[in-house]
Amino acid sequence: MEAIRVDFSQQINGTIQVPGSKNSALALLAAACLTDEAVTLTGIPNIADFRVICKMGEDIGLKINRDISGIVYVNPEDIHSTEFDPIKSSSFRTAYYFVGALIAKYGKVTVGYPGGDDFVSRPIDQHIKALEMLGASFSFYENYYTVEANELKGATIYFDKITSGGTINAMLAAVRAKGMTVLLNAARDPEVIDTAILLNKMGAKVTGAGTDTIRISGVERLNGCTHQVIPDRLIAGAFLIAAGVTGGKVTVTDVIPEHLKSCIAKMREVGIQIDISDSSVTASSNGPLKASRIRTGMYPAFPTDLQQPMTTLFTQAQGKSIVSEKVYPNRFNHVGQLRKMGADIKVRSGVAFIKGATELKGAVVSASDIRAGISLILAGMVAKGQTYITGVEHIERGYEDVVAAFQSLGVTIDKVDLSKERHDLLLEEIQ
């Protein structure tokens, strides 16, 4: 069994060049299918989700190639089917973006139910509502669903819940719908803006992205273009938090500091020094950290995807911290694993109460999703002894080479075969 082994690693130090955003890249790859021309995307991370999209593309005639410099070329010219393999499309979250992107042009799309990180409940009712209001109809089967539409017509759509995925999907569908679509109570995430920028470069007419009202005037055809994906604010944030957890100094470069505002504010509150330049942020810490509280929310509030590394940080702060998870109230898979390492955390009704200044100890723990995995790596860095993290495949959905990145900061971390390395621990784990 593959695992990541982390050793006690104090005072990390170094610079991380932040890769392109996974969440944006997933939307852009689908958006590129709205045209019949080639779209060139730079900065698309070579993560597991990207590779599965390439395989899904091969099945339907969508060509996606990455050259040796990392530039990705998407060519939808020869798409001959819009029936996606349900197993591949359910192995990550956002296959539904291909519904939004292909429905107007092809009239019918079949795809597996969304997979991705599992936080107990991740409904897609707002995606369905938006596409239905544009004129699509849904049929649901055991492992897949089919969306059909003769013609999409612009509509005014009010999201009952702010959703970044739902906003992006509605935008993708509306771009080729007849007439004007207005999205109200839209998500304001940088990834929504990035998608709108690509769409406009392709000839779409999208205004208001980044506010809660987005207007899309439908167009008949779109063209190819070149676009660079925004940096991954969630990876950047996690590395900055890492500097706080262990002490030390970490600089993240190639970032858009404005995207990290809530994270930076919170880090300053707990006593981490933050220095910001045009496109880099440095976090340094060598003193005790103060307890605090975070309340996650949709952008620009504190991101739910940084709640897990922050929870690890709070185990090392002086005093009691509180984490209110308002986006996914059950997103606490990491807590049970942190407890195995000695953390004192209680969760009640979507709120975690964390007693700080706890001595953590190495254990065999399991990562159920990307950010839970990162929080366990951070915990492993301050835990006495060795920590083994299974569920590496979940972490690799979001990180191209998580081991190399942490190694470059001086962390003693490696990928190992757990069954060979610590047979005793594995047996204990299984019993």
Ligand X SMILES: CC(=O)N[C@H]1[C@@H](OP(=O)(O)OP(=O)(O)OC[C@H]2O[C@@H](n3ccc(=O)[nH]c3=O)[C@H](O)[C@@H]2O)O[C@H](CO)[C@@H](O)[C@@H]1O
Kindly identify the residues of this chain, within the stretch 295-334, that bind ligand X according to CB under 6 A: 303-305, 327-328
Stretch 367-386: interaction string toward ligand PEP, x if CB under 6 A: ---xx---------------
Nearest to 121 by CA among 373, 366, 329: 329
* Footprint on residues 99-138 left by ligand X (CB under 6 A): 122-127
Catalytic residue among 59, 67, 78, 117: 117
Q: Is 78 in the site for ligand X (CB under 6 A)?
A: no
| Residue 49 among the catalytic residues | no
Residue facing ligand X at closest CB distance = 165
Tell me which of 120, 151, 156, 161 binds ligand X, using CB under 6 A: 161
Decide which of ligand X, ligand PEP, none touches 127; Cβ closer than 5 to 8 Å per partner kind.
ligand X
By CB under 6 A, name the one of 4, 6, 16, 26 that touches ligand X: 26
Q: How many residues bind ligand PEP (CB under 6 A)?
A: 8
Residue 41 or 317: the one with the smaller Cβ distance to ligand PEP is 41
**Distance separating alpha carbons of residues 79 and 247, to the nearest angstrom:** 51
Bind-site residues for phosphoenolpyruvate: 22-23
Pick the closer one to ligand X by CB: 9 or 163: 163
Q: Which does 221 bind (CB under 5 to 8 A by kind): ligand PEP, ligand X, none?
A: none
Of the pair 185, 217, the CB lying nearest ligand X is at: 185
Measured from the CB of residue 227, what is the shortest distance to ligand X in angstroms? 17
Using the rule CB under 6 A, is 93 a contact of ligand PEP?
yes
116 interacts with ligand PEP by CB under 6 A: yes
Residues within the annotated binding site?
Answer: 22-23, 93, 122-126, 305, 327
Asked if residue 93 binds ligand X (CB under 6 A), the reply is yes
Query: How many C-beta neighbours within 10 Å does residue 265 have?
Result: 11
75/368 with CB nearer ligand PEP: 368
The minimum distance between CB 354 and ligand X, in angstroms, equals 20
Sequence-separated contacts (24+) of 425-431 with Cβ below 8 Å:
425/364, 425/388, 426/1, 426/364, 428/364, 429/364
Q: In what order do the strands lie in the sheet with 180-184?
A: 156-158, 180-184, 213-217, 205-207
- For ligand PEP, which residue of 305, 325, 337, 422 counts as binding (CB under 6 A)? 305
**Residues that are catalytic:** 117
Positions in the binding site for ligand X (CB under 6 A): 23, 26, 93-94, 122-127, 161, 163-166, 187, 303-305, 327-328
